[in-house]
Structure 1
Amino acid sequence: MMIAYYLFSSYLLGTIMTAWLVGKYYGLSLQQQHSGNLGARNAGRALGKKGFILTAIGDGLKGVIVVLIGRYAGYEANIITWAVFFVLLGHLYPFWLRFKGGKGVATIVGALVALNFLYFSIFVISFIAGSYLLKSATFGLCIALVIYSSIVIFADVLPATLLCSVALVLWKHRKNIKERLV
């Protein structure tokens, strides 16, 4: 039963939209600005570097917090990676905003850092290389997520349930990917 509470509260934590809070603080509705997305990139476009940083940190902390709570509670990695999935689900589809949230980048990055800091360097290197070679941060992110998750799952560092979270983030970026390919 405690696991169910943990997963449900992970979803609820995910629904705390940092971009919405930062936008309200600055007197803007970020849902009415640029892409309408409640993530760090849109906050940066509308509010500048400070808006981007505040939103990225807040959203990233959601992923970190879920992992740390799971470890503190003594849950195994499989349960913790499901909690990461649920915090992402909350961030992407917050019930109180008609299921229109962010795209999950900062949240999954925060979770990946907390899940395994040593292997996180694989994500960073893959992201930099992919972004540079393909001239696109979106493609760099997608490549980094696929490479990182493949390596940590193959090396048996993290369970395959991590793929559910990666798939969610890639799904939310499908439109960006399609635009870049055309």
Structure 2
Amino acid sequence: MDKIKTRPKQARAKARVETILNATHSLLINGKPEDVSTTAIARAANVPVGSIYQYFEDRNDILRQLYETAYMEVSNQVVISLKSIDSSIGFDAINRKQLHCFWQTARNHPTFRALTRWANHEYSFAEVTPGVKSGLGELIKDTLQVGGIELQSNRRDAVLQTTVTLVSALIDAAIEEDDEDKAQALIDELATVLSCYLG
């Protein structure tokens, strides 16, 4: 979803939007989302504050776009991982590998953790929970397919939405968890629940 107010057409305007996004990205790496203001972004990007509002609604608009980009980067790594998995290892092992891949990739991404915290604090649970047609929904469908799991047609949508919601909530909790052992335990429990529910 593209949230830029005015789609830049000229190279100079496109460069300015990219500069604003890069400056915000740098601020996130070096601080907390709550410290990222339009004034701080303008200062870091060396642009007038008015330039930010020319292309974005507000700072949340910028953070939302960066979150979508980070989510796509993490998802792409998980898709690559799934392609390399031998389907003969069975759903339980595939499920665990994919959950660990998603969690580790997300935690190692330079801004995903900070942006997840921002989204979880800025929006309601319903607003941050992706749908079945989201990137996460597609990853789950692909994992089920590789794992040889076929859902009953009359339950398919409900099972997928339940799975997406559960995975989204617990992955986010694990990403936000500062204690690595507790985060690992959440991912392991999520894998166990999904194997029982889906396998």
TM norm structure 1: 0.38
TM norm structure 2: 0.36
